[in-house]
Chains A and B, each alone.
Chain A
Amino acid sequence: MGLPEQKEGKIQAPDDLFVPLRESSADAEMIAKPSISYWKDAWLRLSGNKLSMSGLVMLILLVTMAIIGPMITPYSYEHQVLTEGNLPPSFEHWFGTDNLGRDMFTRTWNGARISLFVGFMAAIIDFLIGVAYGGFSGYKGGRVDHFMMRIIEILYGLPYLLMVILLMVVMGPGLFTIIIALTVTGWVGMARIVRGQVLQLKNAEHVLASRTFGASASRVIRKNLLPNTMGPIIVQMTLTVPTAIFAEAFLSFLGLGVQAPVASWGVMANDGLSVILSGHWWRLFFPAFFISLTMFAFNVLGDGLQDALDPKLRR
């Protein structure tokens, strides 16, 4: 392909009117974006959504409290006053005390550090691995897809508890071990969702068009497929957060997690279960409430993101 030569025609234009195109011919067919970028536009739309912004603010507040919360009381998260166990919330102890007389306010925010960190990390890692794996598998289809899906089946089928115990024995306890344990199988749900969406979308007109113009697989996945599957991806990500927070508690139970006397929200919620019977509600309520609040914030933010990232809703 190239510029057609002007040899025939009724109107003869002077040659100097025709300046050869500088850019390579490939650029001519590039599917160029308008001046305002996709992400910038998304941000504009997100910041206009009040509810979503309140979710963002909530998350920022939670993170801030996780950082400064444990410092604004005169108590340490681990200091026990055995004679002051199970005190209800009061002026001295805003969230009450636990069974060993430790200040629940301090403990809650100290635990927030672990829970929030684990929740964020799990969501991000699941997103990165899951989208790449699922996107590739679905886009390639055929044998590649077949093979990649069998690997996922194996990961699903293996007893998780067993893998995790072995991981604990090999790696010892710690936050890093937790993250590894959460990542081993955490991403497969995301991968399957993305793959399903990609399978559905890859034969859509705009995708076919893009492929006809010779866009690379990675480009088609990133620019044409992902923006149209953002909804389920975001939902899946927001689901990962509470799952990870409770999984961390389960992993702590096996000895993988952070060690006592540090306690994450999940561990506190587990420990506090029998307070439903005893009436020391504050020991369960505060950790459970903040888990829900985190979840809520992620969800409204996620909903806003979905609206913001959906190309069909672009103005």
Chain B
Amino acid sequence: MAKYVLSRLIAMVITLWIIVTITFFLMHAVPGSPFNQERNTSEAVQQNLEAHYHLDEPVFIQYVIYIKSLATLDFGPSIKQSSTSVNEMIGRGFPVSAELGVISLLIAVISGMILGILAALKHNGVIDYIAMTFAVIGISVPNFIMATLLIQQLAVTWEIFPVATWASPVHMILPSIALATGPMAIIARLTRSSMIEVLNQDYILTARAKGMTTFQIVTKHAMRNALLPVITILGTLVAGVLTGSFVIEKIFAIPGMGKYFINGINDRDYPVIMGTTVFYSAFLILMLFVVDIVYGILDPRIKLHKRGN
């Protein structure tokens, strides 16, 4: 096991390095410049700006400089917001995004699984239909529409919640719901479908025959196997949600880090693009690793660290 973990960790560094390299050359291959503004500036000014950020050097030299500073975990300064370093951006944006993300994920996972299990137990019954209609709406109404509707109804019309910003726990309710809807629906669908499969397995029937209650069957036997697809998508979902949602953060004016992913690229703010990519990728790879470990715990038959047949 220890050997397996070590080999995964080494692979992680290599994977990250490949991602960094591809992203670096990709972003320099894409047309545009961080200094393209609606307002005009002169050629000389552009050159001064490029020199200031070493953008006038050959791309490969820039790459070497970047890798060197990356080795010390220094992501460099943002070009667009010149008063901020990328480390600072992530440092203050991530906790906010993570907080929102954790709340949303908890809502999504708990309610999604409950809905899915209920639907599976009452397969083709009324509860099943209601739960799945719920899920269909959750998936097909995108979160920007959901968010705007929630604000308009609950904040503007009924004045129950504040409209936006990130000032107090009350401010977190609407964005958490808006962000949780999609993942909740997906989890509900996946839980239901794998639950249905598992519930038809022989060992469940045996358990039932032995007189176990439905609750016992679900928690002791069925859940364990039905969880697998949910765990699979949770890996990427956690990484995605915790590093912030651009749309939700924009609509609710939340100072998270979601906007840096999009704005960094739109502004061709090279250090921001690299910093967010490295951070996200590292997080994601780690989560996928955790998922593989959880596979093994959930189902001892799955052995990843032995050579295949």
Contact = CB atoms under 8 A, between A and B. Distances in A.
| Chain A–chain B contact at Cβ < 8 A | yes
Interface string B2-21: 00000100010011101100
Contacts of A204: 301
Interface residues of A, number: 62
Interface stretch (A23-31, A58-66, A231-239): A231-239
Chain A interface mostly: helix
Interface string A9-20: 000000000000
Contacts of B23: 158-159, 162
B140 A296 contact: yes
Contact of B307 (A51, A142, A211, A238): A142
Given A162-B265, A291-B140, A299-B132, A200 B15 contact: no
A215 interface: no
Contact of A193 (B132, B149, B229): B229
Interface in B192-242: 193-194, 196-197, 200-201, 225, 228-229, 231-233, 235-236
Contacts of B70: none
Interface stretch (A87-95, A122-130, A143-151): A143-151
B262 interface: yes
Chain B interface mostly: helix
Contacts of B309: 141, 211
A197 B140 contact: no
Contacts of B142: 246, 269
Nearest to B123: A307
15 contacts: A153-B285, A156-B281, A156-B288, A157-B284, A158-B277, A159-B277, A193-B233, A197-B228, A200-B225, A200-B228, A203-B301, A231-B194, A246-B142, A276-B145, A295-B139
Interface of A: 51, 140-146, 149-150, 153-154, 156-159, 161-163, 165-166, 169, 189, 192-193, 196-197, 199-200, 203-204, 211, 228, 231-232, 234-236, 238-239, 242, 246, 269-270, 273, 276-277, 284, 288, 291-292, 294-296, 299-300, 303, 306-307, 310, 312-313
Given A193-B232, A299-B136, A303-B193, 15 more contacts: A51-B124, A140-B308, A141-B303, A141-B308, A153-B288, A156-B281, A199-B302, A200-B225, A239-B139, A239-B186, A246-B142, A270-B144, A273-B145, A276-B148, A288-B145
